[in-house]
Amino acid sequence: MGSDRGPTLLAIARGAIAAELSEPVPPFIKESWLLEPGATFVTLQLNGDLRGCIGSLAAHKPLRDDVESNARAAAFHDPRFAPLSRSEYPHSELEVSLLSPLERLAFESQEELLRLLRPGVDGVVLEYGWQRGTFLPQVWEQLPDPKDFLAQLKQKAGLASDFWSDEVQISLYTVEKWREHQFATVSR
């Protein structure tokens, strides 16, 4: 994969949303690395506020397909937001995060877990039974304290912020991320 990954992935995400809104779509990009499995999250912002964020935690389909489906889902199917409108589309900004494989973290207690987390670096998946939640590493910008980060992640997973059980499982990942305003060549 070359250094053109960011602009390419952003153009694919933008094109997937544009197609749904019957807006002009960028030319089809044909690169062999887009056929390799990849796990991504696509985040949509409007006027600096979160407008949608959907993704995959495991690489189970070609990278192009994963980005396209997550872009459409973030724009039109994030249950926290109404579908993106045509009037909002030109003002939206996309970010694509390419995830590393998940790595299970071994720890003996919640206190040890808090010491092991790397603010600003780790994406975290919390699992307890069928309940599951994740925060991308970017969330550390809003929740820089590991205790607050973990409490909010528990709530996202449907648990009480002070919940703890030795059955809690944690997996970590890192991301490479690209945001549209970083690249002057990305068309809107």
Single-letter residue type at 120 = G
pTM attached to this predicted model:
0.88
Could you tell me if 22 and 76 lie in one domain? yes
Closest CA to 16 of 25, 29, 5, 27: 25
The answer to whether residue 136 is domain-embedded is yes
Same structural domain, 94 and 119? no
Number of domains in the chain: 2
What is residue 187's predicted lDDT score, i.e. its pLDDT?
Answer: 39
CATH code assigned at 169: 3.30.1490.150
Q: Are residues 11 and 96 in the same domain?
A: yes
Q: Are residues 84 and 14 in the same domain?
A: yes
What CATH number is associated with residue 71? 3.30.700.20
DSSP percent split of the chain into helix, strand, coil, nearest 5: 35, 25, 40
Q: Are residues 86 and 136 in the same domain?
A: no
What is the per-residue pLDDT across 40-98, written as a single tens digit (0 to 9) for each?
999 999 998 999 999 999 999 999 999 999 999 999 999 999 999 999 999 999 999 99
CA 22 to chain centre: 25
Q: What is the pLDDT of residue 29?
A: 85
The helix/strand/coil state of 98 is: strand
Residue 121's domain comprises 103-173
- Would the pLDDT of 184 be above 60? no
